[in-house]
Structure 1
Amino acid sequence: MGVEGASTDRFEPVRAVLGAHLEAGEELGASIAVDVDGVMEVDLWGGHADEARTVPWHRDTLVSMWSTTKTLTNLAALILVDRGALDLHRPVAHYWPEFAAQGKEHIEVRHVLAHTSGLSGWEQPFCMEDLYDRPTASARLAAQAPWWEPGSASGYHVQTQGQLVGELVRRASGRTLTEFVATEIAEPTRADVQIGARRADWPRIADLVPPSRLGGIPTGLDPEGIFTRTLLGSPARDENVDTPEWRSAELGAVNGHGNARGLARALSVISRRGQVNGRRLLSEETVDKVFDVQADGVDLFLGVPVRWGMGFALADARTIPHMPTGRVCFWVGRGGSIVVMDLDRRVTFAYTMNRVGDGVLGSERTHSYLRHVYEVLERTG
């Protein structure tokens, strides 16, 4: 299957590189979108939605996005911050009293959004059945002690961030995270994104295909190290994706469903300084808070330098190659999906795919598309 969709002439190199990856079999199915100040200059898709290559990737194909989901979840929190329902500098326990247990009474909302709360995984034993049960998963985190001094460093909250932020959204808004994203993000931005997946949409979800050789948990790890505790305390694995339980759950860190067009539309609210489709979802002051640096150094779980702002990583060449400089924030999902919000250029770039690639933060394909998009923008202005 070739590349379908539309792109302006200047972005022809992006169409060409997607076609090349599909032709070489490096991509199975994928979508790419580039929104430039409200104009979708790139809206491309191609390949197949299944590993057997019998179902084409269509315009409205969805895929499970792993951690790119966090961009929607943290946007939901920022919308509540903008409305005064959440305060970034208030203790989480102000909204969630049970959370004060085990010395967590001083952990602030900002620590949760920036992966510095010390709750990067669940204490063992903790399994997928516990994760799928929202009250249980929340109660376990509320009862847990932090694994390092909150605010002192980041340790990527691989699967716990969705639970922590989701609980704050629920308590501040009276709605579930799934409901809030649907009504306050997807609807006003006309974005085809959701947390979990409505049963009516299951037929258009592409299979997420993991690497052919799945690696187990490495041997020789320090059992008390943050990396090990986070890895073991984050139970979701590739085999859980695309199951009925996964699609029916609310996992704000990992089980969002969407495509590049949907991501670009939803997150363009940040690139465009809070306003989209004639509606203001965030004030410019709240958008500025995204760039308030909360941690800057080697992340305790990821093992690479990350500059964390409020809910998003901030552009840094140490983190991802070809990332532009300036007021740029982003995040990625397992296997390569990404959304980049560039306020200086008012550009939003998104990529989703169903063949899981290698790499801690994006795959070689991710970096290739990012490079081509910014080469076009630098050349054409």
Structure 2
Amino acid sequence: MTGTQVNGYTAAGFEGVRACFETNLREVETGAAFAVYHHGRAVVDLWGGTADEATGRAWTEQTRAQIFSGSKGIIAATLLRLCDAGVLALDEPVARYWPEFAAHGKEHVTVGDCATYSAGLPAITSRVVDLGDLGDARLMAELLAGQAPVPAPRLLYGPWTLGWLLDELTLRTTGLTLRDFFRKEVAAPHGLAIDWGLRPAAGVASIVYDDAFAAQYDRFNTSDDPLVRATWANPVPFPKGGVVWNDAALRDAYIPAANIVGTARDIARLYALIIEDLHRPDGVPGNLARSSTVRAALTPYVRQEDPMLGFPFAYGRGGFRLKGTPRTGVDADMFGHDGGGGSAHFGWPGAGIALSYTPNRLLDIGNDDHRAGSLIRALKTSLHQLEMAATA
């Protein structure tokens, strides 16, 4: 451990966020970063701890973290650009762009269905998939095109398939993979340190977890339901016995929905750019998309409890996760995506907030992990205090 010193910047009024980050770093974290933009201005940009326990390498300003399913929010941001450019349309059948996809009654499945886990394709069900297969996007897309959809329920979340579906659609319509389209149309124009899989030499934090974290997947591997096993144990995302995501062969593979790395600063900035687009006058070109395209993407499309995971999910038409259970508050209009092990990446358009939290210690999805929640509560408190001071 390199220590618990908190590095970075906190704007006046957000000192409580820094104190919370410091407490987490001292008591829970290995290493982490947290960044917040408020109405387009960076107000929190913090990092600290250890990026690599084996070498003692410290977490620096430029350290990137693996965000796992937080990658799906980056895919949704890329889909904004694709839709705004007229390359794809959310309400169009996938088969318009990818004719083979129509097999087995999928001719009416839309792009929006694929983006929101409503296509009935939460998993590869036709063959055993090992971790090494995850980087073969063309094979995975071919297998999904040849599958019959699961008829019900409407929403079935899965860790991998969204990425392969949207990658194939991007390749078919632009000649570029989703990764290369994102690099060209989103990351490069805005100087974002976000990409798929980079070696430690490029400053990526190494992952830390123990079997208590990996054990949460045991119930899927032993399930009597073959769809559950196909979705969550074909392959198991975080197997016991070693941190496979530190292995170069897997970390540096191209797995669209699962292995993006980035700095919290740049992931938060991406969400800030989207919020800025949302608030532009109608018809005015945006950073990624016009306001009408962003509004369409954030329009609630599906909300229900996922039967395999047992808690409510909600998605906007363009693939951003929304509040699973609607409620009021400063973050009621939240959109974005969290990631396995605890990362969180969201925008709150009404409050002008964009945030990203990137840890490298992965904790159980249940009651063991309060890190992102504690930071968000501290952020809400800071916003409330600033509002009260402004109206006093």
Query: TM-score surpassing 0.5?
Result: yes
CA distance in 1, matches of 2:376, 2:10: 16
Q: Match for 2:322 among 293, 314, 329?
A: 314
Q: Match for 1:344 among 341, 350, 358?
A: 350
CA distance in 1, matches of 2:329, 2:311: 15
- 1:120 to 2:126 alignment: no
| Structure 1 residues not aligned, in runs of 5+ | none
Q: Number of residue pairs matched? A: 372
CA distance in 1, matches of 2:39, 2:88: 28
| Structure 2 residues not aligned, in runs of 5+ | 388-392
Q: Match for 1:244 among 225, 248, 267?
A: 248
- 1:50 to 2:84 alignment: no
Aligned-residue offset at 1:12: 0.7
Q: Match for 1:363 among 359, 369, 375?
A: 369
For 1:188, the equivalent position in structure 2 comes to 189
- 1:178 to 2:173 alignment: no
**CA RMSD after TM alignment:** 2.3
CA distance in 1, matches of 2:96, 2:158: 21
For 1:209, the equivalent position in structure 2 comes to 208
Q: Within 5 Å, give how 1:90-129 maps onto structure 2.
A: 90-123=92-125, 124-129=127-132
Aligned-residue offset at 1:291: 2.4
TM-score, with length taken from structure 1: 0.91
Contact kept in structure 2, 1:72 and 1:267, CA below 8 Å:
no
Aligned-residue offset at 1:348: 0.1
CA distance in 2, matches of 1:264, 1:120: 28
Contact kept in structure 2, 1:333 and 1:362, CA below 8 Å:
no
Local SS of the residue matching 2:350: coil
**Consecutive aligned runs of 4 or more in structure 1 exceeding 6 Å deviation:** none
Q: Within 5 Å, give how 1:1-381 maps onto structure 2.
A: 1=3, 2-24=5-27, 26-52=28-54, 54-123=56-125, 124-149=127-152, 153-197=154-198, 199=199, 202-213=201-212, 214-215=214-215, 217-218=218-219, 221-224=223-226, 226-237=227-238, 239-274=243-278, 280-310=287-317, 311-317=319-325, 324-359=330-365, 363-381=369-387
Q: CA 1:315–1:301 in 2, change beyond 3 Å: closer, same or farther?
A: same
TM-score, with length taken from structure 2: 0.88
Residue 258 of structure 1 aligns with an amino acid whose one-letter code is G
Residue 140 of structure 2 aligns with an amino acid whose one-letter code is A
Q: CA 1:362–1:96 in 2, change beyond 3 Å: closer, same or farther?
A: farther
CA distance in 2, matches of 1:94, 1:49: 45
CA distance in 1, matches of 2:309, 2:188: 34
Aligned-residue offset at 1:227: 3.0
Aligned-residue offset at 1:189: 2.4
For 2:390, the equivalent position in structure 1 comes to none
Deviations along 1:213-262, one digit per CA (max 9) or x if unpaired, are 331522752223x4333112355435331222223322111000012101
Q: CA 1:233–1:106 in 2, change beyond 3 Å: closer, same or farther?
A: farther
CA distance in 2, matches of 1:87, 1:182: 21
Contact kept in structure 2, 1:153 and 1:299, CA below 8 Å:
no
Residue 262 of structure 2 aligns with an amino acid whose one-letter code is G
